[in-house]
Amino acid sequence: MLNTAQKTEASGTEHELTDGFHLVIDALKLNGIDTVYGVPGIPITDLGRMAQAAGIRVLSFRHEQNAGYAASIAGFLTKKPGVCLTVSAPGFLNGLTALAHATTNCFPMILISGSSEREIVDLQQGDYEEMDQLAIAKPLCKAAYRVLHAQDIGIGLARAIRAAVSGRPGGVYLDLPAKLFAQVMNADAGAKSLVKVIDAAPAQLPAPAAVKRALDVLKSAKRPLIILGKGAAYAQADDAIRTLVEKSGIPFLPMSMAKGLLPDTHPQCAGAARSTVLKDSDVVMLIGARLNWLLSHGKGKTWGDQPKKFIQVDIEPKEMDSNVEIAAPLVGDVGSCVTALLEAMGGNWPAAPADWVNAVKTKREENVAKMAPRLMNNKSPMDYHGALGALRTIIKERPDAFLVNEGANTLDLARGVIDMYQPRKRLDVGTWGVMGIGMGYAIAAAVETGKPVLAVEGDSAFGFSGMEIETICRYNLPVCVVIFNNDGIYRGTDINSAGHDPATTVFVKGARYDKMIEAFGGIGINATTPDELKRAVNAAMDSGKPTLINAVIDPAAGSESGRIGNLNPQSVLKKK
Ligand code: ADP
Ligand code: TPW
Ligand code: MG
């Protein structure tokens, strides 16, 4: 409804009016969307202002990609679509990477972009920021809609919400042309046109026969394994999943963002025996995890010579048999499937085979013991293990803090070293291994939950979203960014032997990223030893003040592409 009650005389009676701006805001609020991430400009500047005035939290970023990543992870954390608001063509395109990322990672998100005049765009007459955004968005998201009339705003948003969160969650594009915002209609009719989405992500129950089949396969196992993926984390069925794991006694392996669903220190956690369990298991139950590249497509050397049978719990039927045969597909939402499994298991489910459970336990203890001394070294400059040893203790002492993590070595080593204790606390590069999620994720985690955030960032990774430290300072968010500064991508030691330019993978030597945040009133600290690092992070987490710590890492410590160097193509001519 219009703020200053505007009235018209129509057939002798007074009518209150509303317009496109207000209908969009009312529709968001009606559906419980209370936070929006974006960058202002024509035609959505006033929408942002009015949304803020109407009590929606509007987080203004420095680049749409970061706002989009923030929205995507807000969706993962809340099971409501995260909303990113951008201007037309360039702003839309900047947000589009994040929309595609949300779709790829199965996070619910809505990218709302203003767009130019349809009549001019379609005739390609060169409008301000002209682009056929709807057509461009379509292949990169689950669904894309455009609203042309104010009376359709309610339906348009309802469709976007339902598409984003139902079934396999993903990104949705909503195109709102500039003209729409100014369209006026009768306020009563406007209010009636809004749609409150009822049961946006309905439970999807698995068929009883499929549950029985899954349990029959599981029962036949000699060396069973449960793999938990970020779909399981998203489902927020934490208690049921924990009960299933404990009741079955089966070792579990958490994928990166499923760490903490059960604590990494849980006696059944096989995280530290990853290669063994993948190789030697005979029955593998996937819960909300795809057999994509992150699991070597379910075949090859990683999976060893033992014949495998897979049970897969997933909401997306098409995921079954995507890479290998799935012996027992269980299609439904994780909560319903796990509950159905538990019910069908009954009271006397046999214990998991003891020799297998013990073999996994022994391997895990061996690996943990091997790693321990490396994590305690106090070298300066630091190596990854020394620095991560310090951060590992911090998360142990502050298990409700978020850990945002990106980089190559900084990512792969932190994933292995830093134990997680609570669900959905580890947020990282996800399915694409994308650099640039860091500050957007950190901001959204702090905004959506009010919890402290520790962002552990490679120096390259940080560069993709680094300007958002201003945003962190502006909103005074409890975010502590630690930059693992090894002077470059993978290593800081590469040399270009053919000319004066620096090698392609190196940055300014000895850069002081801590100075950047001081420009915005945050706290900057240079840490050269694990002890210094630990002190600085603890102080930051205690104070809750925006802090950036430049952790000086030995430029020679990392390896090419971290743990996935094997994916680099090799030229036969390379080292002539
Ligand atoms: P990871 O990278 O952790 O292995 P993936 O992103 O590959 O996880 O897989 C997540 C899977 O979880 C997707 O196939 C998706 O369809 C599924 N999923 C997402 N939400 C749910 C849910 N609520 N119930 C069941 N499956 C889900
Ligand atoms: C959007 C390719 C993968 S990892 C990485 C790049 C550029 C940076 C690694 O250096 P960093 O970490 O962060 O300093 P470290 O500890 O190993 O030195 N563009 C995008 N995504 C990806 N993944 C890349 C490029 C890449
Ligand atoms: Mg680096």
- CA-nearest residue for atom 23, ligand 2, is 434
User: Which pair of tokens denotes residue 361?
Assistant: 């336990």
- CA-nearest residue for atom 5, ligand 1, is 289
- Ligand 2 pocket: which of 406, 439, 489, 494 to mutate (most atoms within 8 A of CB): 489
C-beta of 446 in contact with ligand 1 (< 6 A): no
User: Which pair of tokens denotes residue 266?
Assistant: 């849980």
Residue 196: DSSP 8-state: P
Nearest residue to 83 (alpha-carbon basis) of 131, 129, 47, 125: 47
Atom of ligand 1 nearest to the CA of 290: 7
Q: Within 13 A of 21's CA, how many CA atoms are on the CB side?
A: 17
C-alpha angle with apex 304: 303 to 309, nearest 5 degrees?
A: 60
Ligand number nearest to the C-alpha of 339 = 1
User: Which pair of tokens denotes residue 388?
Assistant: 């991560």
C-beta of 428 in contact with ligand 1 (< 6 A): no
Nearest residue to 407 (alpha-carbon basis) of 229, 558, 230: 558
Rg (CA), the chain: 25
Ligand number nearest to the C-alpha of 258 = 1
Helix (H) or strand (E) holding 547, with range, is: strand 547-552
C-alpha angle with apex 398: 397 to 400, nearest 5 degrees?
A: 145
In angstroms, what is the span from residue 207 Cα to ligand 3's centroid?
48
pLDDT at 66 over 70: yes
User: Which pair of tokens denotes residue 400?
Assistant: 């409700």
Question: What is d(CA 376, CA 198) in angstroms, rounded to the nearest whole number?
Answer: 53
C-beta of 414 in contact with ligand 2 (< 6 A): no
Q: Is 13 exposed, middle or buried (0-12, 13-18, 19+ CB in 10 A)?
A: exposed
Provide mean pLDDT across the span 310-323. 98
* Band of pLDDT at residue 306, cut at 50, 70 and 90: confident
In angstroms, what is the span from residue 395 Cα to ligand 2's centroid?
24
* pLDDT tens, residue by residue, 9-34: 445 456 899 999 999 999 999 999 99
Question: What is d(CA 437, CA 109) in angstroms, rounded to the nearest whole number?
Answer: 15
Ligand number nearest to the C-alpha of 460 = 2
C-beta of 315 in contact with ligand 1 (< 6 A): yes
Question: What is d(CA 102, CA 125) in angstroms, rounded to the nearest whole number?
Answer: 33
- CA-nearest residue for atom 10, ligand 2, is 489
In angstroms, what is the span from residue 412 Cα to ligand 2's centroid?
11
Atom of ligand 2 nearest to the CA of 457: 13
Angle of the 238-248 helix axis to the 334-345 helix axis, nearest 10: 40
C-beta of 130 in contact with ligand 1 (< 6 A): no
C-beta of 230 in contact with ligand 1 (< 6 A): yes
Provide mean pLDDT across the span 142-149. 98
Provide mean pLDDT across the span 517-525. 98
pLDDT of residue 576: 47
Helix (H) or strand (E) holding 90, with range, is: helix 89-105
Q: Tell me if 288 sits within 8 A of 312, measured CB to CB.
A: no
Which phi and psi angles does 548 have, rounded to 5°?
-130, 120
Provide mean pLDDT across the span 478-493. 98
Nearest residue to 151 (alpha-carbon basis) of 57, 279, 18, 44: 18
pLDDT of residue 3: 47
C-beta of 465 in contact with ligand 2 (< 6 A): no
Atom of ligand 1 nearest to the CA of 288: 12
pLDDT of residue 4: 44
C-beta of 489 in contact with ligand 2 (< 6 A): yes
Instruction: Name the CA dihedral angle for 385, 390, 392, 398, rounded to a multiple of 10 degrees.
Output: -170
Atom of ligand 1 nearest to the CA of 316: 16
On average, the pLDDT of the chain sits at 96
pLDDT at 5 over 90: no
Q: What burial letters (b/e) apply to 111-126, b meaning 16+ CB within 10 Å?
A: bbbbbbebeebeeeee
Question: What is d(CA 203, CA 201) in angstroms, rounded to the nearest whole number?
Answer: 6
C-beta of 142 in contact with ligand 1 (< 6 A): no
C-beta of 234 in contact with ligand 1 (< 6 A): yes
Provide mean pLDDT across the span 130-135. 97
C-beta of 492 in contact with ligand 2 (< 6 A): no
Residue 27 in 3-state DSSP? Answer: helix
In the sheet where 453-458 sits, what is the strand order?
426-428, 402-406, 453-458, 479-485, 547-552, 523-527
User: Which pair of tokens denotes residue 73?
Assistant: 């992870």
* pLDDT tens, residue by residue, 441-485: 999 999 999 999 999 999 999 999 999 999 999 999 999 999 999
Cβ contacts of 118 within 8 Å, gap of 6 or more? 148, 177, 179
In angstroms, what is the span from residue 440 Cα to ligand 3's centroid?
19
Which phi and psi angles does 483 have, rounded to 5°?
-100, 120
Q: What burial letters (b/e) apply to 300-320, b meaning 16+ CB within 10 Å?
A: eeebeeeebbbbbbbbeeebb
In angstroms, what is the span from residue 459 Cα to ligand 3's centroid?
5
Atom of ligand 1 nearest to the CA of 228: 3
Ligand number nearest to the C-alpha of 564 = 2
Atom of ligand 2 nearest to the CA of 463: 13
Q: Which amino acid is it at 370? A: K
C-beta of 289 in contact with ligand 1 (< 6 A): yes
Q: Is 17 exposed, middle or buried (0-12, 13-18, 19+ CB in 10 A)?
A: middle
C-beta of 292 in contact with ligand 1 (< 6 A): yes
Domains of the chain listed by start with CATH number:
4-193 (3.40.50.970), 208-362 (3.40.50.1220), 376-559 (3.40.50.970)
In angstroms, what is the span from residue 360 Cα to ligand 3's centroid?
34
